[in-house]
């Protein structure tokens, strides 16, 4: 199959591209510069431009592009970047596929469990409403921007991804060096739930969304059983054989991270109901095995 991917150089995108290529799929990587390789196509999300040649003949489009939520302190300017990089990019891709004479049958568009906001101890799945705050509002606009694709009859799936357990990037990429040094510990009171997923399961789930014709709309990409930050901390200590006696009080996190600290301290107990009901099987359902997989 010919598959177009945006965000192909990102944490998840580069692993997805490699996985697809190993299995013999033809991948078109959309880049925000002049295309310099046969497998590249150009797009400019801010101008709404997508090279239509890159989409021709594609059986699927996987749209993962967006500025990293935790890459910088949340100034007003960076919050605009977080929002615009998702909303404008999704709108550009959705319009491009909708305008095609023969569009791809499926668009898998990135989203996040941030949609639900702070759910405390309450278990939520795809039927839950959006939460309150900056990230939920971004996710609502992000998903709404894909409307042209759905209106054109293209099966559109929103991959609401949790915290991806990876050693080389994302939130966990920052945690591993700290825990390896023996100074890791719980964040805040540690009672907040973290809805995680291993990188292997994340990529496998994205590929499942491409082929599972019965799936559309939001689909949670998280492990079946979320764990609290306190439980995650204990698991990191077990796997890495390091002490986890340190802790970062909530006031300190707010000073260091600013507004983003509220989302780190917030709790999201998300269940992947639609993914499980569609027959997807997790290779790493537990937190210990997810951590071990990232280290392998």
Residue 264: the pLDDT is: 73
Cα separation, 116 vs 5, whole angstroms:
26
pLDDT tens-digit profile of 223-244?
999 999 999 999 999 999 999 9
**Confidence at 73, pLDDT banded by 50, 70, 90:** confident
Residue 256 scores a pLDDT above 60: no
- On whether the pTM is more than 0.75, the answer is yes
CA distance linking residue 260 with residue 55, whole number of Å: 36
> What average pLDDT score do residues 38-65 get?
97
Residues 133-166 pLDDT 10s: 999 999 999 999 999 999 999 999 999 999 999 9
Three-point CA angle 18, 19, 24, nearest 5°: 95
Q: Is 84's pLDDT higher than 60? A: yes
With tokens 């300190």, the residue in question is 252
Domains identified in the chain and CATH numbers: 2-295 (3.40.50.720)
The percentage of the chain sitting over the pLDDT mark of 70, rounded to a whole number, equals 98
Average pLDDT over residues 38-54: 97
How far, in Å, are 57, 131, 151 from residue 34 at the CA level? Answer: 21, 39, 30
**Contact indicator for 142, 289 with CB cutoff of 8 Å:** no
Say if residue 71's pLDDT is above 80: no
Tell me the pLDDT tens digit for each residue of 90-109. Answer: 999 999 999 999 999 999 99
Min mean pLDDT across 97-101, 114-118, 258-262, 288-292 is at: 258-262
Distance CA 173, CA 177 (A): 8
Mean residue pLDDT across the chain: 94
State both tokens at 98: 């909708």
Can you give the pLDDT at residue 45? 95
Q: Is the pLDDT of residue 249 over 70?
A: yes
Express each pLDDT in 188-222 by its tens digit.
999 999 999 999 999 999 999 999 999 999 999 99
């Amino acid at each position: 199959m010919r598959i177009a991917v945006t965000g192909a150089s990102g944490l998840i995108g580069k692993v997805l591209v490699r996985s697809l290529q190993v299995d013999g799929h033809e991948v078109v990587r959309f880049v925000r510069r002049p295309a310099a390789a046969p497998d590249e196509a150009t797009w400019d999300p801010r101008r709404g431009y997508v090279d239509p040649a890159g989409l021709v003949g594609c059986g699927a489009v996987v749209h993962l592009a967006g500025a990293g939520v935790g890459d910088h302190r949340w100034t007003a300017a960076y919050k605009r970047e977080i929002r615009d990089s998702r909303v404008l990019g999704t709108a550009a891709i959705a319009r491009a596929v909708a305008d095609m004479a023969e569009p791809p049958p499926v668009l898998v568009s990135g989203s996040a469990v941030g949609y639900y906001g702070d759910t405390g101890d309450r278990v939520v799945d795809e039927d839950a409403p959006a939460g309150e705050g900056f990230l939920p509002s971004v996710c609502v606009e992000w998903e709404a921007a894909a409307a042209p694709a759905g209106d054109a009859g293209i099966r559109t799936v929103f991959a609401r991804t949790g915290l991806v357990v990876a050693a080389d990037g994302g939130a966990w990429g920052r945690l591993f060096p700290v825990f390896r040094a023996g100074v890791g510990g719980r964040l805040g009171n540690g009672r907040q739930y973290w809805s995680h997923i291993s990188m292997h399961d994340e990529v496998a789930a994205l590929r499942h969304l491409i082929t599972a014709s019965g799936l559309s709309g939001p689909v949670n990409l998280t492990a079946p059983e979320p764990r609290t930050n306190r439980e995650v901390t204990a698991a990191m200590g077990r796997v890495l054989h390091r002490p986890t006696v340190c802790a970062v009080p909530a006031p300190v996190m707010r000073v260091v991270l600013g507004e983003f600290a509220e989302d780190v301290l917030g709790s999201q107990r998300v269940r992947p109901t639609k993914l499980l009901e569609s027959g997807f099987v997790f290779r790493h359902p537990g937190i210990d095995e997810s951590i071990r997989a990232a280290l392998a």
